[in-house]
Every structure is written in C-alpha cells, then in structure tokens.
C-alpha cells in the first residue's frame, strides 16, 4: 500500500458512525428469537441462495429450529460453495471470523459456533457488536415499541 492508502486506513479506523439498521428488532426482542450458526446465513444470503437454486421451502427448513443442526447443515452444505464469494455472504463470513474465530462454517464446527453464539447472545449484544466492534455511536431503529 502507498503511504496515502495506509494513512487513509488508519484514519478510517478511528471514525464512528451513525447507522440506520431499520431491520434490527430491539435487543430484548432479538434475544428471545431462535439463533444458531445458520442465523449468520439467514438474512444477507437469502437471495443469493435462491440464485444458487435453493427454493423457499428448503430455505425455511434450513432455518427450522425443530430440525436437528445436522439435518440443517446437510442443506446448507449443498449451497455453501455456491454463495461463498458473493457480496451478501461476505458479511456472514466476516462475522464468523471476527466473533467466532472460524474461517468457514463446516461439519466440524457448526455446533461449536452455535455454542459460542449462545455465549455472546445476552444483554449487551448490540453494544458489543454495533458500538464496541463496529464503532457505531448511534443506531437508528424503526421500532413501533422501542422499550
């Protein structure tokens, strides 16, 4: 990198932001929802998985908490390599690396990633991720009941 590029990156590291995360429910609501390793691949990769051939019914099964993680991984595994290098999957892989210490979601680690998520998913989740990690000073949410 040039000196200018290095300087710009250093300056950007110190920037804070204001983010309009309208899709986020209030934290206390989010913490009551089901989550597991596949949650990382639910929102952002939905459409790219459909482009890879996944149908809506199978997508819903992949995120059905009544099915075993193993059965759901069988579905995910069929599409993982087809979406891996897409823009939407980038956010999931960044989160997987940053918060769970994994480069990929594999048959060997989906249960441990889920266990680590359970440790992180507690009050203070948004502060930890959005404010402390992403340096977002304020998150504007479009909530009916923000309490």
Structure tokens given for 59 = 């997508």
Task: Work out the angle between the directed axes of helices 110-120 and 69-83 (0-180°, nearest 10).
Answer: 100
Residue 22 above 70 pLDDT? no
Residue 146 above 70 pLDDT? no
pLDDT value of position 44: 82
Q: How far apart are CA 7 and CA 10, in angstroms?
A: 5
Residue 143 above 80 pLDDT? no
Nearest to 90 by CA among 48, 147, 118: 48
pLDDT value of position 14: 83
pLDDT value of position 131: 86
pLDDT value of position 21: 62
pLDDT value of position 103: 95
**What confidence tens digit (pLDDT) does each residue in 89-111 have?**
999 999 999 999 999 999 999 99
Residue 26 above 90 pLDDT? no
Model confidence, pTM:
0.78
Q: Could you tell me the pLDDT band of residue 17, with boundaries at 50, 70 and 90?
A: confident
CB 43 within 8 A of CB 88: no
pLDDT value of position 61: 96
**What confidence tens digit (pLDDT) does each residue in 45-75 have?**
999 999 999 999 999 999 999 999 999 999 9
- In the chain the beta strands, taken as DSSP E runs, fall at 17-19, 136-139
Mean pLDDT of the chain: 89
CB 77 within 8 A of CB 58: no
Nearest to 35 by CA among 138, 119, 142, 118: 118
């Amino acid at each position: 990198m040039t000196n200018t590029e290095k300087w710009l990156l250093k300056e950007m590291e110190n920037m804070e932001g204001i983010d309009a995360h309208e899709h986020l429910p209030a934290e206390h609501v989010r913490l009551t929802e089901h989550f597991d390793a596949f949650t990382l691949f639910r929102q952002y990769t939905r459409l790219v998985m459909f482009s890879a051939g996944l149908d809506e019914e199978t997508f819903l099964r992949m995120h059905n908490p009544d099915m075993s993680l193993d059965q759901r991984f069988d579905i995910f595994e069929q599409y993982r390599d087809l979406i891996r290098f897409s823009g939407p999957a980038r956010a999931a892989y960044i989160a997987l690396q940053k918060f769970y210490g994994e480069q990929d979601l594999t048959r060997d680690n989906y249960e441990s990633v889920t266990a680590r998520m359970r440790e992180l998913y507690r009050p203070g989740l948004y502060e930890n991720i959005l404010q402390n990690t992403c340096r977002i000073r304020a998150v504007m949410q479009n909530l009916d009941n923000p309490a």
